[in-house]
Structure 1
């Protein structure tokens, strides 16, 4: 199901690349192709605060009015029901975490919740008077399951960590979940905005006024301020996002700018003097930061669009809303960023749902555009796509057979598949699936299923049989 969704998204992106290929100018900005989702598609509300993926590959989206489970096609909505004690404790959900047992942990305005898959019920953990092992407040802002299985819960009134790792609590809620409250006097502020664990196992705690590093062994806390002249509620000290790159450098987003922390000597650098941020003032307000599967940095801003950072040139590409392009971002406020296991990049748009693009297909689409003229690729519709392990891209075309694009040497080969012609028309290849390193399954629009030998170019037909094999094959 998820693979089919990925294939559809890639097809849209490649079709977009072919349309770009006919233009003489290919701007560096707005190079991504997005598919938009909102309430019209079944999302419970358009304000998406957090996105996560579970162990079954469902996408979970936290909104201001309900929790959503997305399978790539449709949404399942979960709301608070006053008459159902097993429903979520409140419909306003602001953060999501998934543990190794596939329990969905939720930060809500009505306490900490988790969703039990087997029973299809929600359980809530709330602040209890005179119980110091309960969480410090019911307005939960962020949650983190660390590498050793401990659950961290940030609230408007302090930070909490589970006394036992979740691995030892396999039978929740029968097993009591208890918390240790971190001394508020040690933190720069008690209103916690985000949590992150670095490669040393230290916990970084963002607040509305400063950043904190907690060493888990002894719970010592070190504070960091980015506007050292004003340790009040400066925009530069309001932490929105924390991430670590492959060089172990921490990237910190604040409402006043982008910063880095060198984890060797903990020196701080600012991007305020970078030419891009000097000329794009609204991009200085950072909402979210993501490091993708190849180590590339993405930055969501409040009004400046979605930024892609190119470390080799110390430059940025910007993706913004374009009113005339329904495949651009819906606005310029990229609130939350998330990459799933199929390399789909999810971008929640402030108050306007979310957008999705596939990062790998984006690379392919740029290749297609850059090589369109020299390779004389047709502008027929792309109906299917497959990337094999030899770095070839296989494209099934509308009424035009099959293309192979070699991404190493930029050569392409057109297989017309003339033996599959019908009424002088080349076949439409609706789907492609790899059997092994040398064979491809080809599903066609009207001719059924075929096995294609990549070395010999031989094709074996699997004939149509009523009730067994259809003439039109959409998935293999």
Structure 2
């Protein structure tokens, strides 16, 4: 029996598996064990907006009250005003995180983009003073040529190329070929030429970089595009676009079809809640779906996309015993490089191993030991 120890604050977790038994538990009906990290253990705020992992294995967490780095034993918190000049966040409300070259961390805040250099421990600020059309950054992406694509709430999309030349896409009331709204919520780049843009109240848009054309996408046949709030966009491994909205999940397949998954009153028949906030795939072919009021949902992607008769949705509603997530709002999801899932909620950060390995609480002791 090979033993692997994994350490979290206040927890010593044991993952046990036999080298002779390589069976993986692929059913979404397998029992999972969840663990909670919150402000009592050093997180700056219990509402988690975004999660990433860097090349060294650190987990970075964005909250409404600062940036957190988790090293497996403790949190290091970065806030506005904590350090000297050039070593401060411009704002503590963090909406999105992403890693770029040489381990730098890009941070979207309510007062501009921040670029954190961990080697120098400095923050570079990009805001209205040095070229942005607004400071309230809701999301960002990178173009095929490393352009910054910035979603600025109430202003639209700004693309900044390597020569600092800007291209603006925004809403125009007299032009149906403009963005449907300037209230940008999320973006996803697909291949080299397409950018999908979600808005607060006016649905989904597609920007074709080659033709410079903006198309407003109607996801519901019998619904006005303006009624749709898009909160999450995710490009799956097969090239399908998953859209999380206030009307459930819409999937624009690479074949041009639109599939829909909405709330059901019967567990397994549909989502537990129509307000979808985030997506993430695990290593077992399952898609994890975070909702605003219905906890976590897990589906088998191939069964859903194939419209198979045995398709069902696994509901994970909140509990406080570790058998499910700890809160009904799941605002962020991230798979780490070992296949573990990190789940942002409104009451802290949850951790789970989706492989179904026997994760057990061995000891409540802040002093971890190595065996």
TM over 0.5: yes
Deviation (angstroms), 1:42: 0.6
Check whether the contact 2:44–2:66 (CA below 8 A) recurs between aligned residues.
yes
CA deviation map 1:421-452 (0-9, x unaligned): xxxxxxxxxxxxxxxxxxxxxxxxxxxxxxxx
Number of aligned positions between the proteins: 337
Q: Which residue number in structure 2 is paired with residue 428 of structure 1?
A: none
User: Bigger relative contact order, structure 1 or 2, given CA contacts below 8 A and separation 6+?
Assistant: 2
CA pair 223-71 structure 1, distance change in 2 beyond 3 A = same
Partners of 1:106 and 1:143 within 8 A in 2: no
SS in 1 for 2:133: coil
Residues 49-91 of structure 1: per-residue CA shift (max 9 Å, x gap): 0111122221111100010111121111000018833211011
Deviates more, 1:210-219 or 1:328-337: 210-219
In structure 1, what is the Cα distance between the partners aligned to 2:12 and 2:298? Answer: 20
The whole-number CA distance in structure 1 between the counterparts of 2:15 and 2:83 is 45
Q: 2:197 aligns with which of 202, 205, 208?
A: 205
In 1, the alpha carbon distance for the partners of 2:327 and 2:29 equals: 15
Q: Taking structure 1 as reference, are residues 83 and 338 closer, same or farther at Cα in structure 2, changes over 3 Å only?
A: closer
Q: Judging changes above 3 Å, is the alpha-carbon distance between structure 1 residues 105 and 46 closer, same or farther for their aligned structure 2 residues?
A: same
Once the two structures are superposed, the pairs formed by residues 121-136 of structure 1 within 5 Å of their partners are 121-128=122-129, 134-136=131-133
User: What residue in structure 2 maps to residue 98 of structure 1?
Assistant: 99
**Is 1:231 paired with 2:224?**
yes
Task: State which structure, 1 or 2, has the greater radius of gyration over its C-alpha atoms.
Answer: 1
* Cα separation, 1, equivalents of 2:186 and 2:116: 21
Query: Equivalences for 1:13-412 in 2 at 5 Å?
Result: 31-81=31-81, 84-86=84-86, 87-128=88-129, 134-156=131-153, 157-164=155-162, 179-185=166-172, 186-199=178-191, 201-208=193-200, 209-231=202-224, 233-234=226-227, 237-265=228-256, 267-272=257-262, 282-310=272-300, 311-312=302-303, 313-323=310-320, 325-350=321-346, 352-360=347-355, 362=356, 364-365=357-358
Q: Judging changes above 3 Å, is the alpha-carbon distance between structure 1 residues 327 and 272 closer, same or farther for their aligned structure 2 residues?
A: closer
- Rate the CA distance shift 1:125–1:198 in 2: closer, same or farther, 3 A: same
Cα deviation digits, residues 450-473 of structure 1 (max 9, x gap): xxxxxxxxxxxxxxxxxxxxxxx8
- Name the structure where strand makes up a greater proportion of residues: 2
* Structure 2 CA distance for partners of 1:271 and 1:341, relative to 1, 3 Å: same
Listed one character per residue, the Cα deviations across residues 202-236 of structure 1 (whole Å, up to 9, x for unaligned) are 221111121112222233222113345453642xx
The residue number in structure 1 matching 2:175 is none
C-alpha deviation, 1:318, in angstroms: 1.5
RMSD, matched Cα: 3.1
Instruction: Decide whether aligned partners of structure 1 residues 12 and 72 sit closer, same or farther in structure 2, where only a CA change above 3 A counts.
Output: same
CA distance in 2, matches of 1:102, 1:193: 26
Consecutive unaligned residues in structure 1, runs of 5 or more: 16-26, 165-175, 367-380, 384-472
Higher helix share goes to which structure?
Answer: 1
Extract unaligned runs of 5+ from structure 2.
18-26, 173-177, 304-309, 363-368
